[in-house]
Amino acid sequence: MDDQLALPVGTTLDRFIMRKQEEFPYATGELSQLLRDIALAAKIVNREINRAGLLGITGNYGQQNVQGEEQQKLDVIANIRFIRALRNGGEVCTIISEEDDHVIQTGNTEGKYIVAMDPLDGSSNIDVNVAIGTIFSVYRRTSDASGDGTLEDCLQSGARQVAAGYIIYGSSTMLVYTTGCGVNGFTYEPSLGEFFLSHPMIMTPSEGKIYSCNEGNLNSFPEGIKAYLDYCKEQNYTSRYIGSLVGDFHRNLLKGGVYIYPATAKAPNGKLRLVYECNALAMIIEQAGGMATDGTERILTKTPTELHQRSPLVIGSPEMVEKVHTFLAEKVLTA
């Protein structure tokens, strides 16, 4: 028992980032610092979430964001915290946020990176204590590092991401990210104020038994999706959907499953945002051995034309995603 009490807590996020940087002789440290800035903001947002009920910062803020969605008070707080951390860090010239109509110029005109983010995904679940999260993508700017970032810098395909990740605030807080060399997860230890490596080199199962989909919209789904959901029921798969993209994705990443948000009559182009939701999770799932498409096209090959462009999303274990494609293709051929 005494030996167990003295076990080491593991590798901190800072040490992990430093070791990875040492593996690349030409690395100059800017991306490493950017990831540390995101981790710092995550710690602050985690604190705000945990005490939200006591401070009266749950509920609606009283305004709508650019998506036409009611902003929650914690949406606004998280947006401020992440923007402030990225601005003060100095490595980011421009930020794209779900909560802002236009790009945000940080004033760091020599910054080499663009960050696209959903500061607090699933925030409508805050009042009922369900897992919520932050999603982020990192791109290297294509314009000269001597002024503000450009719209072209912000509208790059997901294949050009240099890093992507998410933070999930749940029973424990985790930061999961990739820089294109595998996916690693870090769990926050609040008494020490550190993220520790807890899930090294995450690989998603090739097949799963979980499907995540809002079946309340079933009547407006494409026929291929309806047929696939019938197949899932015939196979006795488990339906799991909490309405928090990060929460649903995280569970399926670890346990195996597929998340489906198709085009509907109400949202013919899909609902999820390509630039700062779909792209980030697509990079993560591919690095973990999975797949992400819009039902026909690989998400990472799509080139956005608008900051807040929407897309259908089918993401998760590769065999399950392929099966969805099979049902979609069959219904197209028989239509």
Is residue 241 part of an annotated ligand binding site? Answer: yes
Q: Are 14 and 36 in contact (CB under 8 A)?
A: yes
Residue 204: inside a domain, yes or no? Answer: no
Residue 298 and residue 214 share a domain: yes
Q: pLDDT band for 227, please (50, 70, 90 cuts).
A: very high
Residue 2: inside a domain, yes or no? Answer: no
Is residue 306 part of an annotated ligand binding site? Answer: no
Is residue 277 part of an annotated ligand binding site? Answer: yes
CATH number at residue 118: 3.30.540.10
CATH number at residue 225: 3.40.190.80
Residue 232 and residue 179 share a domain: no
Q: Among 142, 173, 199, identify where a domain stops.
A: 199
What pLDDT is recorded for position 54? 53
Is residue 271 part of an annotated ligand binding site? Answer: yes
Residue 195 and residue 220 share a domain: no
Q: Identify any residues that bridge with 64 across adjacent strands, giving them in sequence order.
A: 70
Is residue 124 part of an annotated ligand binding site? Answer: yes
Q: Among 173, 199, 225, identify where a domain stops.
A: 199
Global pTM? 0.92
Q: pLDDT band for 67, please (50, 70, 90 cuts).
A: low
Q: What percent of the chain has pLDDT over 70?
A: 88
Q: What percent of the chain has pLDDT over 90?
A: 77
Of residues 189, 200, 167, the one with CA closest to residue 9: 189
Q: Among 199, 234, 249, identify where a domain stops.
A: 199
> Mean pLDDT across the stretch 67-80?
77
Residue 115 and residue 62 share a domain: yes
Range of the domain at 297: 210-334
Contacts of 2 (CB under 8 A, 6+ apart): none
Distance of CA 157 to CAs 177, 265, 275, Å?
A: 18, 26, 8
C-alpha atoms less than 13 angstroms from C-alpha of 83 in its C-beta half-sphere: 20
For the cut 50, the answer to whether the pLDDT of residue 204 exceeds it is yes
Least confident piece of the model among 6-10, 57-61, 210-214, 268-272:
57-61
Q: What's the CA gap between 334 and 248, in Å, rounded?
A: 32
Give me 312's structure tokens.
């259908």
Residue 148 and residue 72 share a domain: yes
Whole-number average pLDDT of the chain: 90
Residue 229 and residue 179 share a domain: no
> Mean pLDDT across the stretch 1-26?
73
Residue 154 and residue 31 share a domain: yes
Residue 173 and residue 42 share a domain: yes
As a whole number of Å, the CA-based R_g of the chain is: 20
Is residue 214 part of an annotated ligand binding site? Answer: yes
Total domains present in the chain: 2
Residue 205: inside a domain, yes or no? Answer: no
Residue 234 and residue 115 share a domain: no
Residue 249 and residue 190 share a domain: no
Residue 174 and residue 41 share a domain: yes
274-298: per-residue pLDDT in tens? Answer: 999 999 999 999 999 999 999 999 9
Q: Identify any residues that bridge with 132 across adjacent strands, giving them in sequence order.
A: 169
Is residue 276 part of an annotated ligand binding site? Answer: no
What pLDDT is recorded for position 125? 82
Residue 53: inside a domain, yes or no? Answer: yes
What pLDDT is recorded for position 126? 75
